[in-house]
Structure 1
């Protein structure tokens, strides 16, 4: 039996816009799909491109308060600009635009469908690039996120009796997902992100390890500016990978934000396609049913590269590092020079890089001392010696 994969298709997104000056650009989804198509990744024999069914009100209420959903729908239908900062709506970060509720539901519906395909229909992997809104809280919007698609989908997986690892590779801490499952030992949340000491959302420190039944099931590796490929892979190899393997979940759920790349205008990490590809291959090798969503990424070209790499690896396809000629022609017509698709060559000063290394080693040591004994017992002791 062939290994089935699914790419969640979305409707025309041209009617949605956060604003011309806002860093979140809806066009990145089209660029990612165009690049996948140029590599021949949209007509693979064992893949399906699936349009999701709509998320229901009870499913949303499992993750969000009724009063917040009511206000979001109200503002979405309003003809004049609206704002309510109690709900995080209408500021520069989370603008209210016509159809914002429908926009948010598209992401949730797609991620929920990806989870259903994996849990019920036997798909080995399902990818919803339009998901990954990990900052949305139960009662407010946050960090460009209005509805938390991961929380809704993981709630569904738990209802199916599944255990879940949620791995967040976005440059920003996955605070909304961590908060939702902070006391739940059926969900192991792992987040590798830029340190909240100086960076949004100001959370995700090593000592945030869960509470009650979930104590030890929340794992954070905060990274300093100038964390590069080697350090990012070190954090993954020494913390994330052994914990995923030891927890051995029924479903692996990954948030694949591409704002860790060194070209991203909002972050100060220095990851490239090398580390990104390496981690995707390691996750694929685990052979765990895999739900993946998009996330952050504000250099649109590198978002397209990252998600195309991920989709290729999910389908066991080797991609040429040379971009397809028709994609290069397309982006040239859109005003993007070919060089914009290359990894930027800015390297950290030695002192900055050493500080980043010290921070990674400190975080790894904390997790080994406080998390490994809870989750993997004697296996953890071997990692601490």
Structure 2
């Protein structure tokens, strides 16, 4: 058995709303090139998945919604379709329709299904699909840059084909609302999301008292952290809580979403974390997968809007940790270990609008400390205590 499958379909690069939109898939190429320059990934290792079929999309989305996506994917949209766009959420600046979006997003969903199949069939112990993680899409509406909810479809695939209990862990700075509500009444899918509180940030959900409904009550957990939360408080909020959730639920497999927009540099949130979080957090999930699931772990991408300074480093660290790569120890021993020189030479020029950091982790004191650190830490601790109130001691 190979250790980790890397899933990549070139069509994910066509998931593009417009030239001004913050969701930019160049970040995938930047990450792939960084891993190749490090010698941690070869072109031959990439697994090209099939596209999801309509039957699989229907596990999560309504027939009317899928048909609307198809109609809005044609090259020339007739004026009569504008009403359809408004009905299904494609009239906004966040998630405008674009040509071929049904085909492109079906490829993304297919990638997450392939990642699930690689792990559940035993072909690989772990699988990574960085093109996935479109966690905001609802059953009958697009939302937050997301059209089809590949994470929810992949989880549904696992449930339909393998009957396994799934623990979904969402570390994006925005609440994983679409996945949560896909399984809000399902006791066999446990959702956990750590995110910036919805009081100030899209999508406005993810309160600590959102705990599921019906038979699924008690299988939904949220950890909304305060704006300007830093590394230590974020990791403290995450580790104890998710360890208790995993011990309570005892999953057969973990599906995790790895939006890397909680970094200080990210332009779309207010969290104040450094690259340290993206080194430590995957290690915690990795350990949980081996403790409870025999190692079964499917990781998806997600948000991340500083595509030069944050995303390539964060997603590369995820791959390295999934593979127990020797570079992880080197980075732990030397946080300012340089990035591959050829990668820096390739991107740290006129193509990059900002200075690209030359080291794997961020330099200490690279930005000013938060003066309300103590107050923020205390508030996060209180929220965590409330969230864990009904978990076994």
- Under a length normalisation based on structure 2, what TM-score does the superposition of the two structures give? 0.89
Partner of 1:262: 264
Aligned partner of residue 92 in structure 2, secondary structure: coil
1:291 aligns with 2:309: no
Structure 1 unaligned spans of 5+: 373-379
Aligned partner of residue 326 in structure 2, secondary structure: coil
Deviations 1:133-158 (A, max 9, x none): 00000000000000000110101111
Aligned partner of residue 244 in structure 1, secondary structure: helix
Alignment of 1:361-372 (within 5 A): 361-370=381-390, 372=391
Deviations 1:191-217 (A, max 9, x none): 000000111000000000111111111
Deviations 1:77-135 (A, max 9, x none): 14148642220013201011111112211210100000011111341100000000000
Alignment of 1:115-264 (within 5 A): 115-159=116-160, 160-264=162-266
Q: How many residues align?
A: 369
What is the Cα deviation at residue 334 of structure 1? 4.9
1:346 aligns with 2:353: no
**Aligned-partner Cα distance in 2 for 1:92–1:85:** 12
1:279 aligns with 2:278: no
Alignment of 1:102-117 (within 5 A): 102-117=103-118
**Aligned-partner Cα distance in 2 for 1:347–1:248:** 40
The answer (yes or no) to whether the contact 1:226–1:348 under 8 Å persists in 2 is no
Given the superposition, is the C-alpha separation of residues 39 and 245 from structure 1 closer, same or farther in structure 2, using an over 3 Å criterion?
Answer: farther
What is the Cα deviation at residue 354 of structure 1? 2.8
What is the Cα deviation at residue 15 of structure 1? 4.4
Structure 2 unaligned spans of 5+: 332-336
Partner of 1:313: 321
Q: Which moved more, 1:49-58 or 1:127-136?
A: 49-58
Q: Which moved more, 1:14-23 or 1:308-317?
A: 14-23
- Under a length normalisation based on structure 1, what TM-score does the superposition of the two structures give? 0.91
- Runs of 4 or more, structure 1, over 4 Å off, are 12-16
